Amino acid sequence: MSLSSYEVIWKQVLDQVEQSNFFTEDTLRWIKNTTLFKIENSIAYISYRSMVTKTILNKEETKNMITSILSEVWGSDVTIQLIQYKDMEKLMPEEEIQQRTNQLLKCTFNEEYTFENFVEGKSNQEAYAACLSCCNQRGTHMFNPIMIYGNSGLGKTHLLHAIGNYLKEERPECNVFYAYSGDLVSILIDAMKSKNVHGNTVDKVKSLLVQNDYFLIDDIQNLTRESSQEIFFTVYNELISRGAQIVITSDMHPNELNGLPTRLVSRFNAGLSINIGKPEFETSKAILKKKIEGNEEACQIEEEVLDYLAQKFSNDVRNLEGSLNRLIFNATLENPDVIDINFAQRILMNEVIVNENDELTIKKIKKAVTRFYGLTYKDIEGKSRQKKLMNARHVFVYLSRELLHKAYISIGQELGNRDHTTISSSYERACQLIKNDVNFKMAVEKVQEMLEKK
């Protein structure tokens, strides 16, 4: 019921109180200085501004009279609870939270992000298959949670929305919840702030969340607030025990989610973690083709151009699509007969420079480190614990971490599949050496210089 409907009801009540001629004019003035805030679970919350009003309303006979008139106008018995006007404001956010939560529970999905529109390739087919198959599982889920991790722009959000779109269509009876973890955190924090006379809002939010059959959380790495982790943890466990399917995305392997407590991470590890990588050449091309599908007439693009884009921009599908959009946009301005390689190179010149020359990759770091130490890849990837080799590895790990913010797990893959814990100790060792060993520090600086000259 809206606030203005309460106003109407309250006016009726006050009119009747006045007509009863029971109170003096003065007393009546005090009584009229009140509002009916809301009626919930047969409790009518009436707010007052002054202590005089409170005293009057608390008198047995006043209270009885108002209770009986209000019950009649409202249509069923109510009891009265008095609240101070300024406390009423504390009650307000709860409605907002309720609205926000309801809004969030009614998740909408981007219609473009479907399984049909997702191009499968080697780099993403496992993630694709896991997401699709969980949509058709009933009862106990084989892998719970499914955790998809990988760099930005590689289709994680797309896949979560694809699950949502698919279920909406094929299994409309399912309750599906989707949120960015950041949004979830703000809901939880709001809920925590508004503990009030209505009881615990957090409990309400929790009970709404656990009612879902599918629980899709995007970018879990942003769930860094401790208090919200606590709530998430209980919701998570409850969902699992109720047999809901959980799908989570992250920009890092679960073991590297430093901001999250280990008990949560170990739960994530209980399911299936799948890496989503950058698309190979053919997949990138297929993504581009999908994008122009149906518009071939309007934008004629030479095959060679698609090859060019697929080669240069496949680190991030967002950039890949962006480069194509840019070409199409410029073509509408210049109207060339066909978008050929010259046109493409001219339009995308600036972007390519950034992509080709400035972009540092882990491979380039490896190359520079081995060149500096006069080693081969085999040496650095191998098992020998010779000091020079160990130092070269430390430099490599340190720079990959510092310059590229690479996950320990992916650095480990570059170093002969070393375990992420080995890499993390290597990084710590490098930090120590930089402080205590001038030669090591210089080596780091030299390699970095080599990389900058590249």
Residue with the closest Cβ to ligand ADP? 155
Question: What is the contact mask toward ligand ADP in residues 421 to 450, using x (rule: CB under 6 A)?
Answer: ------------------------------
Is 249:222 a contact under the CB 8 Å cutoff?
Answer: no
Distance CA 100, CA 97 (A): 5
- Reference 277, options 161, 172, 154; nearest CA is 154
CB nearer to ligand ADP: give 219 or 414: 219
Cβ proximity to Mg ion: between 141 and 156 the closer is: 156
What is the distance between the alpha carbons of residues 210 and 232, in angstroms, rounded to a whole number?
A: 10
What pairing do the DSSP bridges indicate for beta strands 245-250 and 214-218?
A: parallel
Q: Tell me whether residue 44 or residue 247 sits nearer to ligand ADP (CB atom).
A: 247
Between CA 41 and CA 65 the distance in angstroms is 20
Mask for 263-302, x = binds ligand ADP (CB under 6 A) = ------------------------x---------------
The binder of ligand ADP chosen from 23, 48, 118, 373 (CB under 6 A):
118
Kindly state whether residue 119 participates in binding ligand ADP, applying the rule CB under 6 A.
yes
List 66, 130, 155, 324, residue binding ligand ADP (CB under 6 A): 155
Among 158, 267, 312, 366, binds ligand ADP (CB under 6 A): 158
We find the least distance from the C-beta atom of residue 157 to Mg ion, in angstroms, to be: 3
- Token pair listed for 27: 């007393």
How many residues touch ligand ADP under the rule CB under 6 A: the total is: 16
State the binding partner of 155 from Mg ion, ligand ADP, none, CB within 5 to 8 A by kind: ligand ADP
Pick from Mg ion, ligand ADP, none: which does 245 bind, CB < 5 to 8 A by kind?
none
Q: What minimum distance in Å lies between the beta carbon of 147 and Mg ion? A: 14
Binding flag, residue 153, ligand ADP (CB under 6 A): yes
Near ligand ADP by CB under 6 A: residue from 157, 221, 275, 400: 157
Dihedrals phi, psi of 84, to nearest 5 degrees? -75, 145
Residue 318 binding target from ligand ADP, Mg ion, none, CB below 5 to 8 Å by type: ligand ADP
Helices and strands (H, E) in the chain, number of each type? 21, 8
Q: What are phi and psi of 42, to 5 degrees?
A: 65, 15
Q: Which is nearer to Mg ion, 180 or 377 (CB)?
A: 180
Residue range at the interface with ligand ADP (CB under 6 A); choices 117-125, 180-188, 380-388, 403-411: 117-125
Task: Confirm or reject binding of residue 253 to ligand ADP (CB under 6 A).
Answer: no
- Taking CB under 6 A as the binding criterion, the range among 152-160, 233-241, 341-349, 416-424 that sits at the site for ligand ADP is 152-160
317 is a contact residue toward ligand ADP (CB under 6 A): yes
User: Quick one: three-class SS letters along 35-98?
Assistant: EEEEEECCEEEEEECCHHHHHHHHCHHHHHHHHHHHHHHHCCCCEEEEEEHHHHHHHHHHHHHH
Residues lying near Mg ion in the complex (CB under 5 A) are found at 156-157
Alpha helices by DSSP H, 181-339: 181-193, 201-209, 226-241, 262-269, 281-292, 303-312, 317-334
Q: Kindly tell me which of 156 and 366 has the beta carbon lying closer to Mg ion.
A: 156
Answer for the pair 79, 45: CB distance below 8 angstroms, yes or no. Answer: no
Q: Hey, what long-range contacts does 331-334 have (CB within 8 A, 24 or more apart)? A: 331/299
What is the nearest approach in angstroms of ligand ADP to the Cβ of residue 208? 25
| Cross-strand bridge partners of residue 273 | 147
- 17 or 185: whose CB is closer to ligand ADP? 185
Coil vs helix vs strand at 2: coil
Give the integer Cα–Cα distance in Å for 185 and 190: 9
Q: In what order do the strands lie in the sheet with 176-180?
A: 176-180, 214-218, 245-250, 146-149, 272-275
Q: Which two tokens stand for residue 212?
A: 């879902």
The reply to whether 164 sits near ligand ADP by the rule CB under 6 A is no
Would you count residue 156 as binding ligand ADP (CB under 6 A)? yes
Q: Which of 79, 99, 103, 152 binds ligand ADP (CB under 6 A)?
A: 152
Site for ligand ADP in 122-151 (CB under 6 A): 124
User: Cα–chain-centroid distance for residue 259?
Assistant: 14
Where do contacts with ligand ADP occur on this chain (CB under 6 A)? 113, 117-119, 124, 152-158, 287, 317-318, 321
